[in-house]
Amino acid sequence: MSATIHRPSRLLCLLAPLLLLGGVAGCSRQAQAVNSTEHVFESQNFRVVSIDLKRETLSLHWKDPESGAAFGTINALRQWGMSRGQRMLFAANAGIYDRQFAPLGLYVENGKTVVPLNLAHGNPASGNFSLLPNGVFAIYPDGRAEVRTSADFKAEGRSAQWASQSGPMLVIDGKLNDQFIDDSNSLKWRSGVCAKTPHQVVFAVSEAPVNFHTFARLFKEELGCRNALYLDGTISQLYVEGEGYAGAPTFMVKPYAGIFAVFAHPTP
């Protein structure tokens, strides 16, 4: 059983009657390009954000390019954008990281590979990254996005413009990861991503703790994703302008190593 609740994804849209006609048109365009909805699936609440890559640029950020200091939080990245005249429309934490707060797997920022692909087969008990197969979410220079297993990403050999490796894969070629147990009692706030089409990226975060099986089924059955990647749990949040944060409670959040973001195009 599932249900979808649509809400305006921009506080600015509430002010549309006060804006000039051109401003109203712009508001409508952005609301469609970054679309935020609430989904109820298997009696669990999820926040789902769909991004049209033909209209908006989805980027990845770890450190301030000038100071070299890690942003760590979505709000720090938002403030950095504001200082440059850029409004943050959307943000989400990226993949799993190590104890030094560095990405545990592949991390590509604006065409530069900062951390290489990690194909080490660790002990699943040591963390979700080792619950195979893990995978890569990548956006390529032509603006197309995809989620692939790490092995498939390596075999393809394409250079990404933006990429984050995490794991495990939730859905693989239309099938649930067979590592997941239907009635597992491992419940956590969880976030994930898929490329429903090459230009439609979908992020989701649970509003309460869920197990892997339910979360993976959300992507497969509710969102229609053939390949979906787990990003992280317990600390995961999504931010949407005008709606604030969804996902884990703020007191659970720790510094992120990598943040996906959409900034509004500068106003002429």
Residue-wise pLDDT for 100-122, tens only, equals 889 989 999 999 999 999 998 65
Structural domain contains residue 154 = yes
Structural domain contains residue 196 = yes
The count of domains in the chain is 1
Rounded CA-CA distance 171/211 in Å is: 14
Structural domain contains residue 268 = no
Structural domain contains residue 73 = yes
Q: Cis (ω within 30 of 0) for the bond into 168?
A: yes
Q: What is the pLDDT of residues 208-238, one digit of tens each?
A: 999 999 999 999 999 999 999 999 989 999 9
Tell me the two tokens of residue 122. Answer: 């660790």
Across the chain, how many H-helices and E-strands are there?
Answer: 5, 18
Q: Which domain covers residue 84, as residue numbers? A: 2-263
Q: What is the pLDDT of residues 1-39, one digit of tens each?
A: 556 654 544 433 443 343 333 443 344 434 469 999 999
Rounded CA-CA distance 245/191 in Å is: 13
* Length of the chain counted residue by residue: 268
Give the pTM: 0.87
